[in-house]
Amino acid sequence: MKIALIGPPKSGKTTIFNALTGADHEVDKYSPAASEANIGIVQVTDERITWLSELYQPKKTIYANIEFHDFPGIFARESDNPETAIYPDIKSCEAFVLIIRVFKDEELDELYGEADPLKTLSHFEDEMILADMLVVEKRLEKILLGYKRGVKTPTIQIEEKALNRILEQLQANNSIRDMDFPPEEEKAIRGFQFFSAKPLLILLNSSESGFKKQEEALSAIRKRGFLAQVIAGKFEQELSSLSEEDTELFLADMGMELSIKDRLSMLCYELLGLISFFTVGSDEVRAWSIPKGTNAVNAAGKIHSDLARGFIRAECFTYDALTLHGSEKHLREKGLFRLEGKEYIVQDGDILNIRFSV
Ligand SMILES: Nc1nc2c(ncn2[C@@H]2O[C@H](COP(=O)(O)OP(=O)(O)OP(=O)(O)O)[C@@H](O)[C@H]2O)c(=O)[nH]1
Ligand SMILES: [Mg+2]
């Protein structure tokens, strides 16, 4: 899972990236924007995997992970768009975390305007819509040119129909993520990776002292339909150099139990509507993340395309039942070991063994 950290210049993206990944990239007020992203992989904490690993004693234990990409600032008000070269990289991420500065800093205020989260969010929505609009208009022109030359396949017509609907949406200043597409249209436009179609999480980067004063901004942003949280970026980065016990004490002081890594992982799962299923055995205990509502055959395909192609049945039991009864043998005796078909909707905490033949 690839998640992009984006935001205006100097909103604290790299600070938060460092806190998340334990990296030590330079943060400062004046250096020009980096030209490419910092990339770091974060393991998703899951006590269930830890427990399963103890039970099965596998050779390998694999937690789910999230790849965070920390991009240089974009959509600066006065920029002449030197950032365009990184747009494709940003758009290749599955979801965006928009980091907005709410901490006070006179020099940054001077350079970039006073912190105003709602205004920044609107600005970003506008810029994303505009960037998408340029892509759609350009593509539609090309399609029409093709029509004149006699290139008019059903596939292109589906694409044209979808793009015209999208253009209407964007012209009304609305994001693509609020639209629904029939499967064939969804397929036709998938490759564009539109900015305004991506799931968007808002993080308000606050000072330690301002942390509890963001309720008003948060609720206004949530009212607009976004998932949003406050984070004290610099404070969290400072914590990452402390011992685990000290970190816990400081976090508890701020009313938090979990590390920034765990909090943000959970938010990303929520943003993308993901759940986890597990595979277990003496070779490997592993977590897999899939969108809620995924059926067994598609879950199998996540493990390997052969498993989807040759899918016969999924042997299935739940993590909770296993913790309750202690072993697979006991689950079989209790009739808690199920056989499920292709269309079974996989649930969070299911343990699957796919039977297949190719
Ligand atoms: N007071 C305070 N300063 C912060 C906080 N987060 C970041 N800063 C400061 O803001 C400046 C910019 O931080 P960075 O993390 O480099 O910001 P960025 O968004 O990565 O910047 P660009 O990549 O250049 O757009 C640095 O001087 C940080 O120390 C915070 O939570 N509180
Ligand atoms: Mg940065």
pLDDT of residue 77 exceeding 70:
no
Mean pLDDT of all residues in 73-96:
80
The answer to whether residue 103 is domain-embedded is yes
pLDDT of residue 324 exceeding 60:
yes
pLDDT of residue 82 exceeding 80:
no
Q: Indicate which CATH number applies to the domain containing 163.
A: 1.10.150.300
The answer to whether residue 19 is domain-embedded is yes
Note whether 266 and 204 are same-domain residues: yes
pLDDT of residue 21 exceeding 80:
yes
Note whether 255 and 310 are same-domain residues: no
The answer to whether residue 281 is domain-embedded is no
Note whether 75 and 63 are same-domain residues: yes
Under the banding of pLDDT at 50, 70 and 90, the label for residue 299 is very high
Mean pLDDT of all residues in 261-266:
94
Under the banding of pLDDT at 50, 70 and 90, the label for residue 255 is confident
Tokens of 311: 């899918």
Note whether 203 and 326 are same-domain residues: no
Q: Which of 214, 237, 271 is the last residue of a domain?
A: 271
Q: How far, in whole angstroms, is CA 131 from its chain's centroid?
A: 20
What pLDDT is recorded for position 253?
Answer: 84
Residues 6 or more apart whose Cβ sits within 8 Å of residue 4: 37, 69, 71, 90, 93, 95, 96, 97
Mean pLDDT of all residues in 335-349:
96
Range with the lowest mean pLDDT among 30-39, 173-182, 223-232, 260-269? 30-39
Relative to the CA of 72, which ligand 1 atom is closest? 23
Q: Which of 219, 241, 271 is the last residue of a domain?
A: 271
Q: Which of 164, 196, 228 is the last residue of a domain?
A: 196
Kindly give the distance from the C-alpha atom of residue 39 to the centroid of ligand 2, in angstroms, as a whole number. Answer: 11
Relative to the CA of 15, which ligand 1 atom is closest? 15
Ligand nearest to the CA of 28: 1
Mean pLDDT of all residues in 240-251:
84
What pLDDT is recorded for position 264?
Answer: 95
Kindly give the distance from the C-alpha atom of residue 27 to the centroid of ligand 1, in angstroms, as a whole number. Answer: 6
The answer to whether residue 22 is domain-embedded is yes
What pLDDT is recorded for position 234?
Answer: 93
- Total domains in the chain come to 3
Residue range 111-133, pLDDT digits in tens: 888 999 999 999 999 999 999 99
Range with the lowest mean pLDDT among 23-37, 103-117, 278-292? 23-37
What pLDDT is recorded for position 217?
Answer: 96
Range with the lowest mean pLDDT among 33-37, 245-249, 294-298? 33-37
Mean pLDDT of all residues in 238-266:
86
Mean pLDDT rounded to a whole number for the chain:
93
The answer to whether residue 246 is domain-embedded is yes
Q: Name the closest-CA residue to atom 32, ligand 1.
A: 207
Note whether 322 and 348 are same-domain residues: yes
Note whether 146 and 35 are same-domain residues: no
Kindly give the distance from the C-alpha atom of residue 280 to the centroid of ligand 1, in angstroms, as a whole number. Answer: 42
What pLDDT is recorded for position 58?
Answer: 98
Kindly give the distance from the C-alpha atom of residue 134 to the centroid of ligand 2, in angstroms, as a whole number. Answer: 26
For ligand 1, mutation pick of 74, 104, 205, 234 (most atoms within 8 Å of CB): 234
Residue range 149-167, pLDDT digits in tens: 998 999 999 999 999 999 9
Q: Which residues line ligand 1 (CB under 6 A)?
A: 7, 9-15, 27-29, 33, 72-73, 103, 105, 205, 207, 232-234
For ligand 1, mutation pick of 11, 13, 15, 111 (most atoms within 8 Å of CB): 15
pLDDT of residue 80 exceeding 60:
no
Residues 6 or more apart whose Cβ sits within 8 Å of residue 282: 56, 57, 58, 59
Note whether 251 and 103 are same-domain residues: yes
The answer to whether residue 50 is domain-embedded is no
- pLDDT above 90: percentage of residues in the chain: 82
Note whether 208 and 304 are same-domain residues: no
Kindly give the distance from the C-alpha atom of residue 14 to the centroid of ligand 1, in angstroms, as a whole number. Answer: 7
What pLDDT is recorded for position 35?
Answer: 79
The answer to whether residue 288 is domain-embedded is no
Cβ proximity of 336 and 314 under 8 Å: no
Note whether 110 and 248 are same-domain residues: yes
Ligand nearest to the CA of 208: 1
Kindly give the distance from the C-alpha atom of residue 33 to the centroid of ligand 2, in angstroms, as a whole number. Answer: 7
Q: Indicate which CATH number applies to the domain containing 9.
A: 3.40.50.300
The answer to whether residue 52 is domain-embedded is no
What pLDDT is recorded for position 242?
Answer: 84
What pLDDT is recorded for position 239?
Answer: 86
Q: Indicate which CATH number applies to the domain containing 319.
A: 3.10.20.30
Per-residue three-class SS string for the chain: CEEEEECCCCCCHHHHHHHHHCCCCCCCCCCCCCCCCEEEEEECCCHHHHHHHHHHCCCEEECCEEEEEECCCCCCCCCCCHHHHHHHHHHCCCEEEEEEECCCCHHHHHHHCCCCHHHHHHHHHHHHHHHHHHHHHHHHHHHHHHHHCCCCCHHHHHHHHHHHHHHHHHHCCCCHHHCCCCHHHHHHHHHHCCHHHCCEEEEEECCCCCHHHCHHHHHHHHHCCCEEEEECHHHHHHHCCCCHHHHHHHHHHCCCCCCHHHHHHHHHHHHHCEEEEEECCCCEEEEEEEECCCEHHHHHHHHCHHHHHCEEEEEEEEHHHHHHHCCHHHHHHCCCCEEECCCCECCCCEEEEEEECC
Ligand nearest to the CA of 260: 1
- pLDDT above 70: percentage of residues in the chain: 98
Residues 6 or more apart whose Cβ sits within 8 Å of residue 238: none
Mean pLDDT of all residues in 225-231:
96
Kindly give the distance from the C-alpha atom of residue 234 to the centroid of ligand 2, in angstroms, as a whole number. Answer: 13
> In which domain, by residue range, is 327 found?
293-356
Kindly give the distance from the C-alpha atom of residue 267 to the centroid of ligand 1, in angstroms, as a whole number. Answer: 22
What pLDDT is recorded for position 79?
Answer: 53
Relative to the CA of 31, which ligand 1 atom is closest? 24
Note whether 103 and 207 are same-domain residues: yes
Range with the lowest mean pLDDT among 16-20, 134-138, 240-244, 347-351? 240-244
Q: Name the closest-CA residue to atom 30, ligand 1.
A: 234
Q: Name the closest-CA residue to atom 12, ligand 1.
A: 10
Under the banding of pLDDT at 50, 70 and 90, the label for residue 78 is low
Q: Name the closest-CA residue to atom 3, ligand 1.
A: 234
Note whether 180 and 259 are same-domain residues: no
What pLDDT is recorded for position 248?
Answer: 85
Note whether 38 and 98 are same-domain residues: yes
